[in-house]
Amino acid sequence: MTASVISGKEVAADVRADVKAAVDALPGQPTLAVVIVGDDPASQVYVRNKVRQTEECGMRSLHHHLPVDATQFEVENLISDLNGDDSVDGILLQLPLPKGLNEASAIEKIDPAKDVDGLTESSAGRLSLGKSGLRPCTPTGCVILAKRALGDDLSGKHVVVIGRSILVGKPAALLFLAENCTITIAHSRTKDLPEVCRTADIVVPAVGRPQIVKGDWLKPGACVIDVGINRIDAPERGEGKTGLVGDADYESCVETAGSITPVPGGVGPMTIACLLRNTVLAACARRGWSVPEGL
């Protein structure tokens, strides 16, 4: 048996198409403001993609670029200005911030109604309490991908999330719980992690350890949603070359799993797609618009 590949690129394109259709049906144009501090090359590429995809979906994009030596006050003052700008529906602070800046403090300055990354304490609390609100993008993408593979009803599925970070592990567990799944959160202190994984219908590796999950860790037919993205040496590509791999050992897992996301091209594309979706949801909530069908 060879697993079917869950294409994050295809699913993300479908989400973006739904977002564009929703934007076309709205009485106004949602606006996403992106704040980037410094000149990190990876962040620059990521922000350019966000700006391009935001505009392709028919939304307005604002791009605020602060220098690498910007102070905490300057970053937080800009966020406060965007909070007060009624034309702005979503605020995204591109992470990581340059050394010396307090990310947690800056994130907490974002108005929860505009927190399209779902990272503020208010957003996390609403998720934990099962109240409505904006959900973190990457974990939301994980649930959407699992549904694409297994169908919309995930009730009763056993999900093992490997990792307990506030960015992915914990919110992913809560989002799958909201789908009536049974959840196990595993981590570095979990005893006999392979055996725990073998009980799972859905495995979500999110620890940032290259290829830790092996094929013999899986129940035959399990769904693997691989959040990890790790750069490793790839001498087979040539001297000094590197490659990207997930937290799952794809070559062995594909022989046992029923479905699996690749790295790259799996969970990654879903993050921006869910960000765009959150921007529309934030605009509807703030402006009193009905949420269009399909979101």
Task: Decide: 53 and 77 in contact? Cβ < 8 Å.
Answer: no
Provide the 10 A C-beta neighbour count for residue 111.
Answer: 18
DSSP code of 3? P
Checking DSSP bridges between strand 31-37 and strand 60-66, what pairing results, if any? parallel
Provide the 10 A C-beta neighbour count for residue 254.
Answer: 19
Compute the Cα dihedral for 13, 18, 21, 26 and give only its sign. negative
Distance CA 91, CA 83 (A): 8
Task: Decide: 36 and 47 in contact? Cβ < 8 Å.
Answer: yes
Three-state DSSP state, 193: helix
Task: Decide: 201 and 218 in contact? Cβ < 8 Å.
Answer: no
Any idea which residues carry the catalytic annotation? 50, 94, 117
C-alpha atoms less than 13 angstroms from C-alpha of 79 in its C-beta half-sphere? 24
Q: 70-76 long-range CB contacts below 8 Å, 24 or more apart?
A: 70/37, 70/38, 70/98, 70/101, 72/101, 72/102, 72/105, 72/106, 75/35, 75/37, 75/101, 75/106, 76/105, 76/106, 76/109
